[in-house]
Amino acid sequence: MFFAKKFPARHFPLPACPSGPGRLALRLSMRYTARHTLNARIRLMQDNFSHLDKDGNITMVDVGAKPDTRRVAIAEAIVELSPHTLKLLKECALPKGDVLTCAKVGGIMAAKRTAELIPLCHPLSLNLVDVRFEVRDTPPSVRIEAETRTTGPTGVEMEAIIAAQTAAAVIYDMCKAVQRDIVISRVRLLFKDGGRSGAFHAKPLD
C-alpha cells in the first residue's frame, strides 16, 4: 500500500498593516489609484462609445451638424422549425393563417417604431423597409433578411435589426400552436453603408 509522505505545514507571515500616518497614507494611495483607474476607463469608453458624455454618462448623440447621406443596412435572423411545422407553414395550413405575410408586415411596422424601443436611437424618415424570406428544407428553417434605407445624418442598422427580430417573433407567434421549442438564432447585421465609417460586410458563418 502506498502512503503519501506528509510535509510540515508552512506558515507565511502576513504583511503588517501600517498604523497611524502610515495607514492614512495607504488609504489615500488606494483611493487615488481607484479614482485614476476609473477615470482611465471612462476616457477609454469615451474614445470608443459616442453615447457617453465627458463624465461617462449616457447621452443621445447630437447629429444636427452632420450632413445627410444615403444610408443602407441589411440584417438577418434564422427561425429554426421542425420538418412538420415547416411543411404546415409552406402549405399555409397553420391555425393562424399566412405566416410569412404577417411576419413581413410585422417587421416593417417594427422598423418604423425603432426609436420608441431603443433608448438612444434617433427617429428616422425611412425611404424603404423590405423584409424577405428564404424557406430552407435542410435544416428546416426560415431565413429572414431585412433591408432599410434612409437619407439622413445617422445610420439605419437598428431599424434593420429590429425588423428582422420582429419578423422572427411573428413567425414564432404564428407557429407556436403546433411547436413550442422554435429557436430564433443568428440575429446580426449583414451589411451597412453610408456615413463616416463607410461600408461594413459581415463575415460569412456558413
DSSP string, the chain: ---PPP-----PPPPPPP-THHHHHHHHHHHHHHHHHHHHHHHHHHHH-TTB-TTS-B-----TTSPPEEEEEEEEEEEE--HHHHHHHHTT-STT--HHHHHHHHHHHHHTTHHHHSTTPPP--EEEEEEEEEEETTTTEEEEEEEEEEEESS--HHHHHHHHHHHHHHHHHHHTTT-S--EEEEEEEEEEE-STT--EEPPP--
Spatial CA neighbour of 201 closest among 75, 114, 79: 75
Residues at the annotated binding site for substrate?
120-122, 158-159
Q: Is the pLDDT of residue 36 over 80?
A: no
Residue 8 placed within a domain: no
Q: Is the pLDDT of residue 5 over 90?
A: no
pLDDT value of residue 62: 76
Q: Is the pLDDT of residue 41 over 80?
A: no
Residue 138 placed within a domain: yes
- CATH number of the domain enclosing 130: 3.30.70.640
Chain-centroid distance, C-alpha 58: 17
Active-site residue flag, 173? yes
Residue 50 placed within a domain: no
C-alpha cell read off for 20: 497611524
Residues at the annotated binding site?
120-122, 158-159
pTM of the model: 0.74
* Mean predicted confidence (pLDDT) in 177-199: 95
- Number of structural domains (the chain) is 1
* Mean predicted confidence (pLDDT) in 168-191: 98
- Residue 195: pLDDT band (50, 70, 90) is confident
Q: Is the pLDDT of residue 157 over 80?
A: yes
Q: Which residue has the higher pLDDT, 77 or 9?
A: 77
Residue 158 placed within a domain: yes
What would the pLDDT profile of 53-90 be if each residue is shown by its tens digit?
677 777 777 777 788 899 999 999 999 999 999 999 99
159, 118 Cβ separation under 8 angstroms: no
Q: Is the pLDDT of residue 125 over 70?
A: yes
Give me the chain's average pLDDT, please: 85
C-alpha cell read off for 144: 429572414
Q: Which residue has the higher pLDDT, 142 or 197?
A: 142
Residue 9 placed within a domain: no
Residue 5 placed within a domain: no
Catalytic residue of the set 62, 173, 181, 193? 173
82-91, 132-141, 166-175, 196-205 — which is least confidently predicted? 196-205
Q: Which domain holds residue 128?
A: 69-201
Return the ∠ at Cα 203 (arms to 166 and 107), rounded to 5°: 15
Residue 41 placed within a domain: no
Residues 6+ apart with CB under 8 A from 156: 71, 72, 73, 124, 126, 148, 149, 150, 192
pLDDT value of residue 57: 76
Residue 61 placed within a domain: no
C-alpha cell read off for 169: 417573433
